[in-house]
Structure 1
């Protein structure tokens, strides 16, 4: 899955960069998503493979907190970019004549910056507070990476602020962003249902359905992992570990397929790039 993630997202970035016809808002957002997926996967998978293959289970506190920061900050960023992509599709389908006038290059850049800034603002206080907590006893994180709720369980000090803050931020990001995405797709489907061509409706339903499935794989396991880690202490450890890994490993591998290869412009762009290189 990691190889698929690396190859798929790197290929998307190369095709979008090389093909000038793809320098439009839809594919600029897709480029942001590909970069985020590469960073998010690389933050955990090499270390996870080291655990499986070489029993390399030791990690310093600073490295653990750095990994935790990157994983969760880029998760928040990915959520913001998914909202932007849903908004992009809404404008393209419901206001096609105003598409390029609404989503200008400065607007796309501002949306990307806002997604980055929100992630930094949300994750920095949590990481700073955890760094200054005392840790005692056998510091064994019961996960395949430094999941922040699992790290908090190792602290000896008062973790009430961190627990409340992390749950609040996760609920806000997961709930609010998924609500905005759902609203965008409801408006898109309403516009699609008014089309007179059944083939167009079928294609739109297929596209929206695949997008929503990948988004569900990102949001549902992520929120379930957070709440179960906090409130379901009797849950088998392997279930918690699998849930925490699921939303970080599967969407980055599937996003290039769902948003890229299934898109005709990407396929055509890739063929043009390959043809030019052959010539």
Structure 2
């Protein structure tokens, strides 16, 4: 058994965690650059918590400029075992209304301007993201959301777009009708892929702010309305997060789904051919297998 360390990546409107004991903002240096912000550490119900505002306090990073690799590396350096991603999203489903939460279990990645892997020339590895989120961690998020009185939907496909613009009407209809997506956002990729490469359990909680542009009764996305909904969603998210330590506990067994062993057979570059400089950068995310 190991120790549970819960990492929360806060999306738009979520910039801290309520009720943390001994809170401290700490600076973490990574070989992948500077994370989005300092990381807030503390304990909640006896469980160590680490919080990272994805866009930085004051929302200084666009979805494309978020330093995803540095963020995941920083969480790993602080011994995080379980990552809860909280993010704003648009909905393609009438029943997934603004203010509802969706526990995402699949992604379609349409981003193109981001570094998507810790691995490459000098140390090649391929991990499976067939099931990119952790069912055990998603279960805990669902229970915590319901206990907080949040309307929550279990399961959904998240379309990750580059942004920063919202969808055209034609795109919105295609994602909804032809591709079968449920929600759309700009930040869960490559975050989920990198979490898997770092052998972190990852759960995605998408907070619906709007109906994207497909809905005939809602017209195009209204940023003012999104911000109003964001405020309410942020309060709900903090309530949900506050219940997670009690559900996950302070002691942690190996993940039954193998998230924490994702690199077991992923490394392809022969040991004698691996670039020492690349390996040095991988000390946190892949140290267990290297």
After TM superposition, the score normalised by the length of structure 1 is: 0.30
In proportion to residue count, which structure has more helix? 1
After TM superposition, the score normalised by the length of structure 2 is: 0.29
In proportion to residue count, which structure has more strand? 2
